[in-house]
Structure 1
Amino acid sequence: MTSTTATPTTAESRIARVLTDALEPKNWIIAVTVLIGWHAGHFVGVGWGLLGAVFSGVIPILFIKFGERRGYWGDRHVRRRQDRLIVIPGIMASVIIGMTLMIAFSAPQEMIALIAAMLATLVAILAITTAWKISVHGAVSAGAVIMLAQAYGPWMLVGYVLVALVGWSRINLRDHTPAQVVAGTALGTMVAATTFAALR
C-alpha cells in the first residue's frame, strides 16, 4: 500500500519538474519576442525579436547560471526571496540595455512596447519581492500570453492552459504557494497588458 501511494506522487513531481523547466521564464521570453517580432515586421521583426531575446532571456539566464556555479544562489529558478533581490536588478539592467539599443536603432514600436512591458513587470515583481515571494514563472508566462493575444487575437488566450500548468508545477514542487502563483499570474497579466497596449 505504501509504494502504491508514493508512486503517483513521485510521478507527479517528475511531471511538475519537466513543466517547470520546459516552461521557465527564459523560454517564454524567447518565444514571445520572436512571435511579436514576426507580427511587428516579419523577418526583419524576427531579427529585432532575437535581439530582444538576447538581452531579456539569454543574458539573464547566463547571469543566473554564473551565480549558480559560484554558489550565490541554489539553481536557475532562484528559489530564495533574498537572492531574487540581487538577481532581478541584474536582469533589469540587461533588459534596459536591450531596450536602449532598440530605441537608438529604430526598432518597430511594437517591439519596444514588448520590452518595456517586460521591464515594467520586473519592476513590479522587484517591489513585491522586497516583502513577499511572488511567482516569476506565473508573471512571465501570463504576461507573454496576454501580449500575444493583443497582437494576434483572442484565440491566443488558449495559452493560459500552459500558464495554469506552470502554476500547478510550481505549487506541486512546493516552490510557491497557490496565493503566490495566482498573484504572479494576475500581476503579469495586468502589467504586461497595460504597458504593451499603451506603448504599441
Structure 2
Amino acid sequence: MLAGAAIGWHLTGPSHRGLLWGLGGSGCWVLLCAALAAGGPRLGWWPGPQPSQRGPRLVLLAASVVAAAAVWLACGYLGAPPVLLELGRTALLLTAVVLACTWTSNISLHTSSAAASTTLVTLLVDVRAAVLFLLVAAIAWSRLHLRVHTPVQVLLGAGLGTAVCTATVYLGH
C-alpha cells in the first residue's frame, strides 16, 4: 500500500489526488485479498489462511486476479489518473502470471509482490529505494524459515516480480 501511495504521489505531480488514488487502489486490493485469505478457511475452501496445496492456492490466486480486475475497473470508472491506471494493470498482470506459474510450481507470491513493489518504487520514485531489496531478502528468508517454499521458489518469485514490473515500466514509456 505504501508503494502505491508513493508512486501515486510521484507520478501525478506530486499531488494529494495521486497519493489518495495510489493508496486507495492498492489498499482496496490488499483488503480484498486479505478478506479472501481469511474467509477461505471459514468457508471450508482450504485448511488455513495460507493454502499450501495447489488446488486451494489456485482458487485464492484466481480470486485475487478477479479482485485486481475489479479494483482496476472501479478506479477507471471513478476517474483515476490515466498514468496510475496504466500502472495499475501491473498488479493484475503479475497475479495472473503467478497464477499461471502455480500450475507447475509453487513460486512465492510474497517475494514476487515485495520485489514488484520495490522495483516500481526504485524505477519510478527514487533509485535509492533499491535498498528496500533487503526487505525482499528478509521476506524470502522468512518463507524459507517457515518451510513454505524452497530457495528456487523464492528466487523465482522475486525474479518474476522484478521482471514483470521492469517490463511494464519500460514498455509503457
TM-score (norm 2): 0.91
Q: How many residues align?
A: 171
Matched, 1:32 2:3: yes
Q: Secondary structure at the match of 1:107?
A: coil
Query: Deviation at 1:56?
Result: 1.8
Residues 37 and 47 in structure 1, CA contact (< 8 A), matched pair in contact too: yes
After the TM superposition, which of the residue ranges 43-52 and 158-167 deviates more from structure 2?
43-52
Partner residue in 2 for 1:133: 106
User: Cα deviations across residues 144-169 of structure 1 (Å, max 9, x unaligned)?
Assistant: 00000111121111110000000011
From the superposition, tell whether residues 196 and 69 of structure 1 become closer, same or farther in structure 2 (CA, over 3 Å).
farther
Partner residue in 2 for 1:147: 120
Distance 1:153 1:110 in 2: 17
Residues 33 and 114 in structure 1, CA contact (< 8 A), matched pair in contact too: no
Partner residue in 2 for 1:178: 151
Query: Deviation at 1:111?
Result: 1.7
User: Cα deviations across residues 58-115 of structure 1 (Å, max 9, x unaligned)?
Assistant: 1111122111222322333322222111011111111111111222343223321332
Partner residue in 1 for 2:32: 59
Partner residue in 1 for 2:88: 115
Displacement over 4 Å in runs of 4+:
none
Distance 1:170 1:34 in 2: 26
From the superposition, tell whether residues 196 and 118 of structure 1 become closer, same or farther in structure 2 (CA, over 3 Å).
farther
Residues 40 and 111 in structure 1, CA contact (< 8 A), matched pair in contact too: yes
Q: Which has the higher contact order (CA 8 A, sep 6+)?
A: 1
Residues 138 and 188 in structure 1, CA contact (< 8 A), matched pair in contact too: yes
Residues 120 and 192 in structure 1, CA contact (< 8 A), matched pair in contact too: no
1:42-121 alignment runs, 5 A limit? 42-121=15-94
Distance 1:93 1:37 in 2: 22
Distance 2:166 2:48 in 1: 30
After the TM superposition, which of the residue ranges 30-39 and 158-167 deviates more from structure 2?
30-39
Question: What letter is aligned with 1:37?
Answer: G
After the TM superposition, which of the residue ranges 47-56 and 82-91 deviates more from structure 2?
47-56
Q: In structure 1, list runs of 5 or more residues that go unmatched.
A: 1-29
From the superposition, tell whether residues 83 and 166 of structure 1 become closer, same or farther in structure 2 (CA, over 3 Å).
same
Backbone CA RMSD of aligned residues: 1.6
Distance 1:133 1:117 in 2: 20
> Of the two, which has the highest radius of gyration?
1
